[in-house]
Structure 1
């Protein structure tokens, strides 16, 4: 029977093409052995069964072929929660946390909040967890993605949220909101910067949008006006080269003070505006 140290060394060799093979190996070991990273690092003489070795080798092969680590682990940390993820949902990314941070600047006891295209529920559940007095609605066009988001709500014991299957606003009727947020598809179909593994494994419908990546952003800006209360905020994630377009669209459609915020890398990543409560 092999020790954890021996297996870890073998995994690191298999994953040597990655920037941090040790990190990759330790994540797989923690997942398969069901032990914390602290235990993995502190106890190198722990025995690893033959079945566990075979499973680790299978996962390492998939990872080497480009399958995202989050899909292999079936989870991803975001803001202050851990989310189940699978191939039906985008993998939550740190840059999207900037939307959550901006939304949480609102400290009202009660607000109506909407997340359009919730995926695994990262934005909606992070907000609901921090603002238990708010009424949170999360929509997605994909029934399977909504299923994952519901599991994440249960897993994190979050109750103040309603999930609806909806193509943008198609099933929201006469509802209105104090804040609408979305991380919609915004990548140009022909964008050469998209990593091959992202294009290959993550749900393309959640990534790519027509009209140079602006179609969904435009539709949300136009349609949100029917669902925002006066002086309510619309905040949208977008590509780092789309901020000027989004600010212009917001201004053209009657939103006040369009403002862009940067992600943790300093790139323009989300833009918000306040709905004036009038038609234009």
Structure 2
């Protein structure tokens, strides 16, 4: 059977399940590409390329699992983020393109410090290590600490760190609990739990298969965000930055909490879908 025929068949099946032509097209290409070990350019250029019965059967197996609702990242055991190939499993959140906005803004903040400074960065709730590893890949000279409460998640992050040869310091901690040194970090980033406990989206799509502890927070999703804002000033270096990912309807609340927390230059940045996604601010503790 030819690639073009297999792709069309895969797309049709996924489209019926996902009801989203853009997503189903992307996933169909990804599945066929993964099994054949060929990139998208090859698939588009040589639709007449013949595939083996074994390859076809493997594609059908993956499709069947996906149509049952299981996330593609869990089926394949990996997800690309910031051009990094990351191991993913049921103990971690699945890295999403929206979170790349958090990385982009952290890199912009890093540029505001003198090149002579050895940057120290803290990633709270690291999960797969996606954000910490992306920052380490762009800032190889920085010291990057990555915290998570889940030991299973840290095992995934450790694998990714070693597999990508991007050394970061992994710490099993409930937020700042095991962070002893004060005023040491130039940048603190976090993609914390921010979904409200009664949000109907928790019963839809891929989030059904992700750990609730990494998704849900009390106070309409703001509890952990508030906790991080309250304590981060004790761990930021002078004129250090805090950057938080949050829900698209939470920007006003997060900005208010950061202003109350003594942060200045507070702003919200939109993701690729033009939704409010990351709020950041600077803290000057010498003036407090």
Q: What is the TM-score with the length of structure 2 in the denominator?
A: 0.88
**Structure 1 unaligned spans of 5+:** none
Contact 2:148 2:172 in 1 (8 A): yes
The corresponding residue for 2:160 is 152
SS at match of 2:285: coil
Displacement over 6 Å in runs of 4+: none
The corresponding residue for 1:173 is 180
Q: Please tell me whether residue 100 in structure 1 is matched to residue 81 in structure 2.
A: no
Give the count of matched residue pairs. Answer: 278
The corresponding residue for 2:132 is 124
SS at match of 1:269: strand
The corresponding residue for 1:74 is 77
The corresponding residue for 2:151 is 143
* Residue among 266, 276, 284 paired with 1:258: 266
The corresponding residue for 2:66 is 63
SS at match of 1:209: coil
SS at match of 1:30: helix
Contact 1:254 1:279 in 2 (8 A): no
How far does residue 33 in structure 1 lie from its aligned partner after superposition? 2.3
Mean Cα deviation higher: 230-239 or 195-204: 195-204
Determine which structure has the larger helix proportion and give its number.
2
- 1:148-227 alignment runs, 5 A limit: 148-159=156-167, 161-175=168-182, 176-194=184-202, 196-227=204-235
Q: Please tell me whether residue 10 in structure 1 is matched to residue 13 in structure 2.
A: no
CA shift in 2, pair 1:44/1:268, >3 Å: closer
SS at match of 2:27: helix
The corresponding residue for 1:115 is 123
How far does residue 279 in structure 1 lie from its aligned partner after superposition? 9.4
SS at match of 1:273: strand
Contact 2:202 2:208 in 1 (8 A): no
Contact 1:254 1:278 in 2 (8 A): no
The corresponding residue for 1:270 is 278
Post-superposition CA distance 1:71-115 (Å, at most 9, x none): 223222222423222222212122212221111122343211000
How far does residue 164 in structure 1 lie from its aligned partner after superposition? 1.0
Contact 2:195 2:247 in 1 (8 A): yes
Whole-angstrom CA distance in 1 between matches of 2:263 and 2:253: 14
Contact 1:88 1:145 in 2 (8 A): yes
- 1:231-242 alignment runs, 5 A limit: 231-242=239-250
How far does residue 232 in structure 1 lie from its aligned partner after superposition? 1.0
Whole-angstrom CA distance in 2 between matches of 1:119 and 1:29: 28
- 1:20-35 alignment runs, 5 A limit: 20=21, 21-35=24-38
Post-superposition CA distance 1:104-127 (Å, at most 9, x none): 122343211000001111211111
